[in-house]
Structure 1
Protein backbone atom coordinates (compact mmCIF):
# COMPACT_ATOMS: atom_id res chain seq x y z
CA UNK A 1 0.00 0.00 0.00
CA UNK A 2 1.33 3.45 -0.84
CA UNK A 3 2.20 5.83 1.94
CA UNK A 4 0.22 8.87 3.04
CA UNK A 5 1.55 12.07 1.50
CA UNK A 6 1.31 14.72 4.21
CA UNK A 7 0.18 18.24 3.39
CA UNK A 8 -1.94 19.83 0.68
CA UNK A 9 -1.34 18.18 -2.67
CA UNK A 10 -2.82 18.33 -6.15
CA UNK A 11 -2.14 16.69 -9.50
CA UNK A 12 -0.07 17.81 -12.45
CA UNK A 13 -0.51 16.51 -15.97
CA UNK A 14 0.16 17.92 -19.42
CA UNK A 15 -1.56 16.53 -22.48
CA UNK A 16 -4.89 14.98 -23.30
CA UNK A 17 -6.70 13.48 -20.32
CA UNK A 18 -9.70 11.17 -20.44
CA UNK A 19 -11.72 10.03 -17.43
CA UNK A 20 -13.71 6.87 -18.09
CA UNK A 21 -16.29 5.42 -15.69
CA UNK A 22 -17.46 1.87 -16.31
CA UNK A 23 -19.60 -0.31 -14.13
CA UNK A 24 -22.17 -2.98 -13.78
CA UNK A 25 -25.55 -3.00 -12.15
CA UNK A 26 -26.62 -6.28 -10.62
CA UNK A 27 -30.37 -6.36 -11.23
CA UNK A 28 -31.00 -10.01 -10.31
CA UNK A 29 -28.49 -11.06 -7.63
CA UNK A 30 -29.61 -14.71 -7.84
CA UNK A 31 -28.45 -14.83 -11.50
CA UNK A 32 -24.80 -15.31 -10.58
CA UNK A 33 -24.33 -17.03 -13.95
CA UNK A 34 -25.05 -13.64 -15.57
CA UNK A 35 -23.25 -11.08 -13.43
CA UNK A 36 -20.24 -13.04 -12.12
CA UNK A 37 -18.54 -13.46 -15.54
CA UNK A 38 -18.92 -9.70 -16.17
CA UNK A 39 -17.56 -9.00 -12.68
CA UNK A 40 -14.51 -11.22 -13.29
CA UNK A 41 -13.73 -9.75 -16.72
CA UNK A 42 -12.70 -6.32 -15.42
CA UNK A 43 -9.70 -7.42 -13.29
CA UNK A 44 -8.29 -9.28 -16.32
CA UNK A 45 -8.65 -6.16 -18.47
CA UNK A 46 -7.05 -3.92 -15.85
CA UNK A 47 -4.08 -6.30 -15.44
CA UNK A 48 -3.66 -6.44 -19.21
CA UNK A 49 -3.75 -2.65 -19.51
CA UNK A 50 -1.45 -1.94 -16.56
CA UNK A 51 1.13 -4.43 -17.84
CA UNK A 52 1.39 -2.47 -21.11
CA UNK A 53 2.83 1.03 -20.55
CA UNK A 54 1.81 2.01 -24.10
CA UNK A 55 -1.86 1.12 -23.55
CA UNK A 56 -2.77 4.64 -22.51
CA UNK A 57 -4.25 3.68 -19.15
CA UNK A 58 -2.69 6.00 -16.56
CA UNK A 59 -4.44 4.53 -13.53
CA UNK A 60 -7.72 3.25 -12.15
CA UNK A 61 -9.76 2.78 -9.00
CA UNK A 62 -12.36 0.09 -8.33
CA UNK A 63 -15.32 1.38 -6.32
CA UNK A 64 -18.63 0.04 -5.09
CA UNK A 65 -21.75 1.97 -6.06
CA UNK A 66 -25.40 1.54 -5.13
CA UNK A 67 -26.05 -0.88 -8.03
CA UNK A 68 -22.74 -2.71 -8.06
CA UNK A 69 -19.03 -2.26 -8.74
CA UNK A 70 -17.60 0.36 -11.04
CA UNK A 71 -14.17 1.54 -12.11
CA UNK A 72 -12.86 5.04 -12.64
CA UNK A 73 -10.07 4.98 -15.22
CA UNK A 74 -7.69 7.73 -16.33
CA UNK A 75 -6.43 7.57 -19.93
CA UNK A 76 -3.78 9.51 -21.84
CA UNK A 77 -5.96 9.77 -24.96
CA UNK A 78 -9.41 9.04 -26.30
CA UNK A 79 -7.85 7.28 -29.29
CA UNK A 80 -6.04 4.80 -27.02
CA UNK A 81 -9.22 4.11 -25.05
CA UNK A 82 -11.20 3.42 -28.23
CA UNK A 83 -8.36 1.38 -29.75
CA UNK A 84 -8.33 -0.88 -26.69
CA UNK A 85 -12.11 -1.28 -26.73
CA UNK A 86 -12.10 -2.33 -30.39
CA UNK A 87 -8.96 -4.54 -30.48
CA UNK A 88 -10.02 -8.16 -31.09
CA UNK A 89 -6.76 -9.51 -29.60
CA UNK A 90 -7.26 -7.69 -26.29
CA UNK A 91 -9.42 -8.90 -23.37
CA UNK A 92 -12.21 -6.31 -23.76
CA UNK A 93 -13.64 -7.36 -27.12
CA UNK A 94 -14.18 -11.07 -26.26
CA UNK A 95 -15.59 -10.13 -22.83
CA UNK A 96 -18.05 -7.68 -24.44
CA UNK A 97 -19.13 -10.30 -26.99
CA UNK A 98 -19.65 -12.89 -24.23
CA UNK A 99 -21.62 -10.40 -22.13
CA UNK A 100 -23.96 -9.63 -25.02
CA UNK A 101 -24.48 -13.34 -25.71
CA UNK A 102 -25.39 -13.98 -22.04
CA UNK A 103 -27.58 -10.84 -21.89
CA UNK A 104 -29.73 -12.11 -24.76
CA UNK A 105 -30.50 -15.27 -22.73
CA UNK A 106 -31.46 -13.39 -19.53
CA UNK A 107 -32.37 -9.84 -20.49
CA UNK A 108 -32.09 -7.40 -17.63
CA UNK A 109 -30.27 -9.66 -15.16
CA UNK A 110 -27.20 -7.45 -15.22
CA UNK A 111 -26.56 -4.06 -16.72
CA UNK A 112 -23.35 -2.50 -17.98
CA UNK A 113 -22.76 1.23 -18.27
CA UNK A 114 -19.97 3.65 -19.05
CA UNK A 115 -19.34 7.38 -19.29
CA UNK A 116 -16.41 9.02 -21.07
CA UNK A 117 -15.13 12.50 -20.24
CA UNK A 118 -12.53 14.35 -22.29
CA UNK A 119 -11.08 16.69 -19.67
CA UNK A 120 -10.22 20.19 -20.76
CA UNK A 121 -9.28 21.39 -17.28
CA UNK A 122 -9.39 19.79 -13.86
CA UNK A 123 -8.78 20.84 -10.29
CA UNK A 124 -7.97 18.64 -7.32
CA UNK A 125 -6.92 18.80 -3.69
CA UNK A 126 -5.79 15.94 -1.48
CA UNK A 127 -4.86 16.63 2.15
CA UNK A 128 -2.79 13.95 3.86
CA UNK A 129 -4.03 11.04 1.72
CA UNK A 130 -2.41 8.25 -0.20
CA UNK A 131 -2.01 9.03 -3.92
CA UNK A 132 -5.39 8.34 -5.52
CA UNK A 133 -7.65 9.89 -8.11
CA UNK A 134 -5.89 12.24 -10.50
CA UNK A 135 -2.64 12.47 -8.49
CA UNK A 136 -2.53 8.67 -8.31
CA UNK A 137 -2.83 8.43 -12.10
CA UNK A 138 -0.69 11.44 -13.00
CA UNK A 139 1.77 13.27 -10.75
CA UNK A 140 1.42 14.42 -7.13
CA UNK A 141 2.63 17.98 -6.54
CA UNK A 142 2.39 20.28 -3.53
CA UNK A 143 -0.06 23.15 -3.68
CA UNK A 144 1.85 26.41 -3.76
CA UNK A 145 0.51 29.60 -2.24
CA UNK A 146 -0.51 30.86 -5.70
CA UNK A 147 -2.83 27.85 -6.04
CA UNK A 148 -4.28 27.81 -2.54
CA UNK A 149 -7.88 28.14 -3.77
CA UNK A 150 -9.79 25.77 -6.05
CA UNK A 151 -10.59 28.62 -8.46
CA UNK A 152 -6.87 29.38 -8.91
CA UNK A 153 -6.00 25.72 -9.51
CA UNK A 154 -8.76 25.38 -12.09
CA UNK A 155 -7.78 28.60 -13.83
CA UNK A 156 -4.29 27.18 -14.32
CA UNK A 157 -5.61 24.78 -16.96
CA UNK A 158 -3.86 21.54 -17.89
CA UNK A 159 -1.12 21.81 -15.29
CA UNK A 160 -3.64 22.32 -12.51
CA UNK A 161 -2.19 23.10 -9.16
CA UNK A 162 1.36 23.08 -10.48
CA UNK A 163 3.97 23.93 -7.95
CA UNK A 164 5.27 27.44 -8.38
CA UNK A 165 8.38 27.70 -10.57
CA UNK A 166 11.69 28.09 -8.82
CA UNK A 167 12.90 31.70 -8.67
Structure 2
Protein backbone atom coordinates (compact mmCIF):
# COMPACT_ATOMS: atom_id res chain seq x y z
CA UNK A 1 0.00 0.00 0.00
CA UNK A 2 1.29 3.47 -0.89
CA UNK A 3 2.32 5.64 2.01
CA UNK A 4 0.04 8.51 2.91
CA UNK A 5 1.42 12.05 2.87
CA UNK A 6 0.34 13.70 6.11
CA UNK A 7 -1.05 17.19 5.86
CA UNK A 8 -1.79 19.34 2.86
CA UNK A 9 0.26 18.87 -0.30
CA UNK A 10 0.34 20.53 -3.69
CA UNK A 11 2.44 20.25 -6.83
CA UNK A 12 5.38 22.31 -8.06
CA UNK A 13 6.13 22.68 -11.76
CA UNK A 14 7.65 25.34 -13.97
CA UNK A 15 7.39 24.98 -17.69
CA UNK A 16 4.83 23.95 -20.24
CA UNK A 17 2.16 21.59 -18.96
CA UNK A 18 -0.23 19.61 -21.13
CA UNK A 19 -3.06 17.52 -19.68
CA UNK A 20 -4.28 14.87 -22.07
CA UNK A 21 -7.39 12.74 -21.48
CA UNK A 22 -7.81 9.69 -23.68
CA UNK A 23 -10.34 6.92 -23.41
CA UNK A 24 -12.67 4.50 -25.04
CA UNK A 25 -16.40 3.99 -24.88
CA UNK A 26 -17.58 0.43 -24.99
CA UNK A 27 -20.85 0.66 -26.89
CA UNK A 28 -21.42 -3.07 -27.35
CA UNK A 29 -20.08 -4.93 -24.32
CA UNK A 30 -20.68 -8.34 -25.97
CA UNK A 31 -18.20 -7.46 -28.77
CA UNK A 32 -15.08 -8.43 -26.79
CA UNK A 33 -13.26 -8.86 -30.09
CA UNK A 34 -13.58 -5.12 -30.69
CA UNK A 35 -12.74 -3.54 -27.33
CA UNK A 36 -10.35 -6.04 -25.71
CA UNK A 37 -7.54 -5.36 -28.23
CA UNK A 38 -7.70 -1.68 -27.26
CA UNK A 39 -7.24 -2.67 -23.62
CA UNK A 40 -3.94 -4.30 -24.57
CA UNK A 41 -2.62 -1.44 -26.69
CA UNK A 42 -2.53 1.24 -24.00
CA UNK A 43 -0.24 -0.59 -21.53
CA UNK A 44 2.27 -1.15 -24.36
CA UNK A 45 2.25 2.55 -25.18
CA UNK A 46 2.65 3.54 -21.53
CA UNK A 47 5.61 1.15 -21.10
CA UNK A 48 7.22 2.57 -24.22
CA UNK A 49 6.74 6.17 -23.04
CA UNK A 50 7.87 5.45 -19.46
CA UNK A 51 11.07 3.82 -20.72
CA UNK A 52 12.01 7.03 -22.55
CA UNK A 53 12.37 10.04 -20.22
CA UNK A 54 12.78 12.31 -23.27
CA UNK A 55 9.31 11.32 -24.55
CA UNK A 56 7.67 14.14 -22.62
CA UNK A 57 5.24 11.98 -20.65
CA UNK A 58 5.45 13.14 -17.03
CA UNK A 59 2.93 10.67 -15.61
CA UNK A 60 -0.52 9.18 -15.99
CA UNK A 61 -3.49 7.85 -14.07
CA UNK A 62 -5.93 5.21 -15.34
CA UNK A 63 -9.57 5.78 -14.40
CA UNK A 64 -12.79 3.90 -15.05
CA UNK A 65 -15.81 5.79 -16.32
CA UNK A 66 -19.36 4.61 -16.85
CA UNK A 67 -18.68 3.69 -20.51
CA UNK A 68 -15.12 2.43 -20.21
CA UNK A 69 -11.58 3.23 -19.12
CA UNK A 70 -9.79 6.47 -19.67
CA UNK A 71 -6.38 7.83 -18.94
CA UNK A 72 -5.27 11.21 -17.65
CA UNK A 73 -1.76 11.97 -18.86
CA UNK A 74 0.56 14.85 -18.01
CA UNK A 75 3.02 15.95 -20.70
CA UNK A 76 5.91 18.42 -20.68
CA UNK A 77 5.02 19.79 -24.11
CA UNK A 78 2.36 19.70 -26.77
CA UNK A 79 5.02 19.13 -29.43
CA UNK A 80 6.25 15.99 -27.66
CA UNK A 81 2.69 14.63 -27.39
CA UNK A 82 2.08 15.21 -31.11
CA UNK A 83 5.48 13.83 -32.04
CA UNK A 84 4.74 10.59 -30.19
CA UNK A 85 1.22 10.30 -31.64
CA UNK A 86 2.44 10.61 -35.22
CA UNK A 87 5.73 8.65 -35.07
CA UNK A 88 5.42 5.56 -37.29
CA UNK A 89 8.14 3.75 -35.32
CA UNK A 90 6.29 4.13 -31.99
CA UNK A 91 3.43 1.95 -30.70
CA UNK A 92 0.65 4.54 -31.16
CA UNK A 93 0.49 4.68 -34.97
CA UNK A 94 0.15 0.91 -35.49
CA UNK A 95 -2.44 0.74 -32.69
CA UNK A 96 -4.43 3.56 -34.31
CA UNK A 97 -4.27 1.79 -37.68
CA UNK A 98 -5.53 -1.47 -36.10
CA UNK A 99 -8.37 0.36 -34.34
CA UNK A 100 -9.51 2.02 -37.59
CA UNK A 101 -9.50 -1.30 -39.44
CA UNK A 102 -11.63 -2.93 -36.71
CA UNK A 103 -13.95 0.09 -36.52
CA UNK A 104 -14.71 -0.17 -40.24
CA UNK A 105 -15.71 -3.83 -39.86
CA UNK A 106 -17.99 -3.34 -36.83
CA UNK A 107 -19.00 0.30 -36.82
CA UNK A 108 -20.02 1.72 -33.45
CA UNK A 109 -18.99 -1.22 -31.26
CA UNK A 110 -16.32 0.81 -29.54
CA UNK A 111 -15.40 4.48 -29.63
CA UNK A 112 -12.26 6.38 -28.75
CA UNK A 113 -11.90 9.97 -27.65
CA UNK A 114 -9.34 12.44 -26.38
CA UNK A 115 -9.15 15.96 -25.02
CA UNK A 116 -5.96 18.04 -24.89
CA UNK A 117 -5.44 20.98 -22.54
CA UNK A 118 -2.44 23.30 -22.61
CA UNK A 119 -2.40 24.62 -19.06
CA UNK A 120 -1.27 28.14 -18.18
CA UNK A 121 -2.08 27.74 -14.48
CA UNK A 122 -2.71 24.72 -12.33
CA UNK A 123 -3.85 24.62 -8.72
CA UNK A 124 -3.92 21.43 -6.69
CA UNK A 125 -4.38 20.23 -3.14
CA UNK A 126 -4.14 16.74 -1.69
CA UNK A 127 -4.94 16.14 1.98
CA UNK A 128 -3.85 12.86 3.57
CA UNK A 129 -3.48 11.02 0.26
CA UNK A 130 -0.71 9.02 -1.38
CA UNK A 131 1.30 10.91 -3.98
CA UNK A 132 -0.98 10.95 -7.01
CA UNK A 133 -2.14 13.06 -9.93
CA UNK A 134 -0.22 16.22 -10.72
CA UNK A 135 2.22 16.00 -7.77
CA UNK A 136 3.17 12.46 -8.84
CA UNK A 137 3.76 13.60 -12.42
CA UNK A 138 5.69 16.73 -11.42
CA UNK A 139 6.94 17.42 -7.89
CA UNK A 140 5.09 17.18 -4.59
CA UNK A 141 5.41 20.07 -2.16
CA UNK A 142 3.80 20.92 1.17
CA UNK A 143 1.23 23.72 1.11
CA UNK A 144 2.99 26.75 2.54
CA UNK A 145 1.08 29.02 4.89
CA UNK A 146 0.99 31.79 2.27
CA UNK A 147 -0.66 29.28 -0.12
CA UNK A 148 -3.28 28.14 2.36
CA UNK A 149 -6.18 29.00 0.06
CA UNK A 150 -6.87 27.80 -3.49
CA UNK A 151 -6.89 31.38 -4.79
CA UNK A 152 -3.35 31.94 -3.48
CA UNK A 153 -2.09 28.66 -4.99
CA UNK A 154 -3.67 29.55 -8.33
CA UNK A 155 -2.15 33.04 -8.24
CA UNK A 156 1.26 31.48 -7.70
CA UNK A 157 0.62 29.28 -10.74
CA UNK A 158 1.50 32.23 -12.97
CA UNK A 159 1.44 31.91 -16.73
CA UNK A 160 4.58 30.87 -18.57
CA UNK A 161 4.83 34.40 -19.97
CA UNK A 162 4.72 35.88 -16.44
CA UNK A 163 7.47 33.53 -15.25
CA UNK A 164 9.61 34.26 -18.31
CA UNK A 165 9.34 38.01 -17.70
CA UNK A 166 10.71 37.67 -14.16
- Cα contact 1:14–1:158 (8 A) shared by 2: no
Counterpart position of 1:164: none
Runs of 5+ unmatched residues, structure 1: 160-167
**Does 78-87 or 149-158 show the bigger shift?**
149-158
- Cα contact 1:13–1:158 (8 A) shared by 2: no
Counterpart position of 1:67: 67
Runs of 5+ unmatched residues, structure 2: 160-166
Q: Which string of whole-angstrom CA distances, capped at 9 and with x for unpartnered residues, describes residues 101-133 of structure 1? A: 000000000000000000000100001111111
Counterpart position of 2:78: 78
Counterpart position of 1:30: 30
CA distance in 2, matches of 1:158, 1:101: 44
Structure 1 segment 143-158 matched on structure 2, within 5 A: 143-158=143-158
Counterpart secondary structure, 2:18: strand
Kindly state the Cα deviation for residue 2 of structure 1 after the two structures are TM-superposed.
3.4
Over the residues paired in the alignment, what is the CA RMSD in angstroms?
1.0
The count of corresponding residues between Structure 1 and Structure 2 is 159
Kindly state the Cα deviation for residue 158 of structure 1 after the two structures are TM-superposed.
4.6
TM-score, with length taken from structure 1: 0.93
CA distance in 1, matches of 2:56, 2:2: 22
